[in-house]
Amino acid sequence: MEELGFTVDDTVDITDVVCPVTFVKTKVALEELEDGQILDVHLNDGEPVQNVPRSVKDEGHRILKLTDNGDGTYELYVMKVGD
């Protein structure tokens, strides 16, 4: 696996749910983290990858990276901002 340059503190899989639960699940996972910790969101291609990053950004968190797994799923790395 490619070097990320940061350490993941928690992981959430949202490939088993659809909008808007995708974002809800992500939000809940972020709530359990401390400011500055990093969440790895495992998500599907299509609507989730189009909408979840923007929703996360609009909530004020910092997106560090999005990687394509090549199997129709992605990893979105988010740093939690604020408590």
Partner 1 sequence: MATDYATLKKGGFMRQKQKDHFSLRLSVVGGQVDAKQLAAITEVADKFGHGYIHLTSRQGIEIPFIRLEDIDEVKAALAEGGAKPGVCGPRVRTITACQGSEVCPNGCIETEKLARELNDRYFGQELPHKFKFGVTGCQNNCLKAEENDLGVKGGVQVSWQEDKCIQCGVCEKVCREGAVTIADGKVTVDQDKCNYCGRCAFSCPTDAYDTTPGYLVSFGGLFGNHINKGEEMLPFITDKETLFKICDAALSFFKENANAGERFKFTIDRIGKEKLQEKLNEAYDKKR
Question: Which member of 4, 9, 17, 19 is catalytic?
Answer: 19
72 class by beta-carbon count within 10 Å (0-12 exposed, 13-18 middle, 19+ buried): exposed
- In the complex, the smallest distance separating the C-beta of residue 71 from partner 1, rounded to whole angstroms, is 15
- Which residues of the shown chain bind partner 1 in the complex (CB under 8 A)? 45, 49-50, 53-54, 57-58, 62-68, 74
Nearer to partner 1, 29 or 43 (CB): 43
| 6 in Cβ contact with 75 (< 8 Å) | no
> Residue 24, CB half-sphere, CA atoms under 13 Å: how many?
6
**Which candidate, 71, 12, 20, 76, places its Cα nearest to that of 49?**
76
Determine whether 52 is an active site residue: no
- In the complex, the smallest distance separating the C-beta of residue 17 from partner 1, rounded to whole angstroms, is 19
- In the complex, the smallest distance separating the C-beta of residue 8 from partner 1, rounded to whole angstroms, is 16
* Residues with catalytic function: 19
